């Protein structure tokens, strides 16, 4: 889950990391007592908003009103702007970059720091990025901070500040189950203080059971994706017209790839996951119908999800909902015979192989 900038900054503040003085604004009330210059920042959960006009420096009331009008209610890269963050402008001597993320290959957290802050880290030359890997069961040790402080050539008060910010950020990373915590830029002010001018925090969705307070922030891209998430179904909206339901992410992806090879285009990715609850299968099919594809292709290879469970869930959906779409199903694996028996008299078109099922779905979608 990507937190918005102001949500990330609230967390920073909780961990003692300085952020600019600011206020969240939704346009509902007049702004009083502003002292300029100010920075107006659209709150959207994606990077690169500066280039898209989502960050404005304003020098007076007129410019402020103009910026608010231009940002509030508009859409930046597909995300509508509900709130803007209005902040004091930080005068900096230097801008640092600091982040902690999960290094998949090394299978441990990595701290990245650079003296070239303020720009997209992807465009910073690799040689200018410092990396320190942390053993998660040992945690951040003082020597690691020392290494970074030395390499960044930070001295005196600034060195102490950096150590504090890094230790705070590490605690936040661990305690909040973050996948990424990034401060870019981490501004060095004229009086040698460090201020987090921006925040990027991504919290692991799988950890939300222990972060009740964050659940209210949960946001998905489309209403259907949100609905699926609430039901524990992995649903990804795609651009084509053939909906794919399968069990297991790999199989769902491979089914979509199959469709592509047969000239079809996937309309959504719906991974049932491992389930032995017919109710969940029913919900999945109803959700699929709600997405309005031309045809639904079901591809089940039973393991932890048993084939007869899927079959009874599908039948329940037919009993209860208005299934008005053609459905092609290929079901194989644990309890496949029971499943085929159950579906014998249903409206679901059976297919023996994935190849055959994919072809049938493409034919239906193209009106053949």
Partner 1 sequence: MAIIIDDSSKVLVQGITGHQGRFHTLKMKEFGTKVVAGVSPGKGGQSVHGVPVFDTVHEAVEETDADTSVVFVPAPFVLDAALEAMGSNISTIVIISEHVPVHDAMRIVSLSLRKQKRIIGPNCPGVASPGKAKVGILPNQIFKRGDVGVVSRSGTLTYEIVDSISQAGMGQSTCVGIGGDRVIGTIFVDCLRMFEEDEQTKRIVLVGEIGGSAEEEAARFIAEHVSKPVCAYIAGRSAPPGKRMGHAGAIVSRGTGTAKSKIKALSDAGVAVATTTVEIPRLLEAQ
Contact set with partner 1 (CB under 8 A): 102, 104-105, 107-109, 122, 135-137, 174, 177, 179, 204, 206-207, 209-210, 234, 236, 238-239, 246-254, 256-261, 266, 269, 271, 273-274, 276, 300-305, 332-334, 353-355
Q: Smaller CB distance to partner 1: residue 2 or 193?
A: 2
Q: Smaller CB distance to partner 1: residue 84 or 285?
A: 285
Instruction: Report the nearest approach of partner 1 to the CB of residue 206 (Å).
Output: 4
CA dist 96 and 263 (Å) reads 49
Structure token digits, residue 72: 């509030």
Instruction: Report the nearest approach of partner 1 to the CB of residue 361 (Å).
Output: 14
Give me the torsion for CA of 257, 259, 261, 265, rounded to 10°: -100
The neighbouring-strand residues paired with 195 are 187
Q: Smaller CB distance to partner 1: residue 188 or 281?
A: 281
Please say if 182 is a catalytic residue. yes
Helix (H) or strand (E) holding 52: none
Catalytic option among 5, 87, 95, 97: 97
Is 163 in a helix, a strand, or coil? Answer: helix
Q: Smaller CB distance to partner 1: residue 58 or 361?
A: 361
Q: Smaller CB distance to partner 1: residue 71 or 299?
A: 299
Catalytic option among 95, 182, 283, 336: 182
Instruction: Report the nearest approach of partner 1 to the CB of residue 177 (Å).
Output: 5
Give me the torsion for CA of 343, 345, 349, 354, rounded to 10°: 30
Structure token digits, residue 352: 């023996």
Instruction: Report the nearest approach of partner 1 to the CB of residue 154 (Å).
Output: 28
Closest CA to 113 of 126, 101, 127, 130: 130
Cα 40 to the chain's mean position, in Å? 24
Which strands, in side-by-side order, build the sheet including 84-88? 22-25, 84-88, 38-42, 55-58
Structure token digits, residue 162: 């950096």
330, 299 contact by CB (below 8 A) = yes
Instruction: Report the nearest approach of partner 1 to the CB of residue 136 (Å).
Output: 4
Cα 170 to the chain's mean position, in Å? 21
Instruction: Report the nearest approach of partner 1 to the CB of residue 283 (Å).
Output: 16
Q: Smaller CB distance to partner 1: residue 108 or 217?
A: 108
Question: Euclidean distance between the first and final Cα of the chain, in Å?
Answer: 42
Between strands 55-58 and 38-42, the pairing is antiparallel
Annotated catalytic sites, by residue? 97, 182
């Amino acid at each position: 889950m990507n937190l918005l900038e102001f949500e990330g900054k609230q967390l920073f503040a909780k961990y003692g990391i300085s952020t600019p003085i600011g206020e969240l604004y939704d346009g509902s009330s007049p702004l009083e007592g502003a002292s300029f210059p100010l920075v107006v920042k659209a709150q959207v959960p994606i990077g690169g908003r500066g280039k898209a006009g989502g960050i404005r420096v304003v020098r007076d009331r007129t410019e402020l009103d103009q910026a608010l009008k231009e940002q509030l209610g508009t859409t930046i890269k597909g995300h509508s702007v509900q709130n803007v963050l209005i902040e004091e402008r930080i005068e900096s001597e230097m801008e640092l970059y600091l982040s902690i993320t999960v290094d998949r290959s090394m299978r441990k957290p990595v701290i990245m720091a650079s003296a070239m802050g303020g720009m997209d880290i992807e465009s910073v030359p690799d040689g200018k990025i410092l990396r320190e890997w942390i053993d998660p069961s040992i945690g951040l040790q003082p020597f690691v901070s020392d290494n970074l402080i030395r390499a960044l050539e930070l001295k005196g008060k600034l060195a102490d500040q950096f150590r504090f910010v890094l230790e705070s950020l590490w605690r936040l990373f661990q305690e909040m189950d973050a996948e990424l915590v990034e401060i870019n830029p981490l501004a060095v002010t004229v009086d040698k203080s460090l201020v987090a001018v921006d925040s990027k925090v991504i919290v692991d969705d799988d950890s939300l059971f222990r972060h009740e307070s964050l659940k209210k922030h949960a946001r998905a891209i489309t209403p259907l994706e949100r609905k699926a998430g609430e039901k524990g179904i992995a649903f990804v909206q795609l651009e084509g017209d053939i909906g794919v339901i399968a069990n297991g992410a790999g199989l769902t992806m491979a089914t979509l790839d199959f469709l592509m090879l047969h000239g079809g285009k996937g309309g959504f990715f719906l991974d049932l996951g491992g389930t032995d609850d017919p109710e969940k299968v029913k919900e999945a099919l109803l959700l699929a119908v709600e997405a309005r594809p031309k045809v639904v292709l079901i591809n089940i290879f039973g393991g932890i999800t048993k084939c007869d469970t899927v079959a009874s869930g599908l039948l329940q959906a037919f009993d209860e909902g208005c299934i008005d779409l053609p459905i092609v199903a290929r079901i194989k694996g644990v309890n496949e015979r029971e499943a085929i028996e159950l579906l014998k008299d249903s409206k679901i078109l059976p297919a023996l192989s994935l190849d055959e099922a994919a072809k049938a779905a493409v034919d239906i979608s193209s009106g053949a």
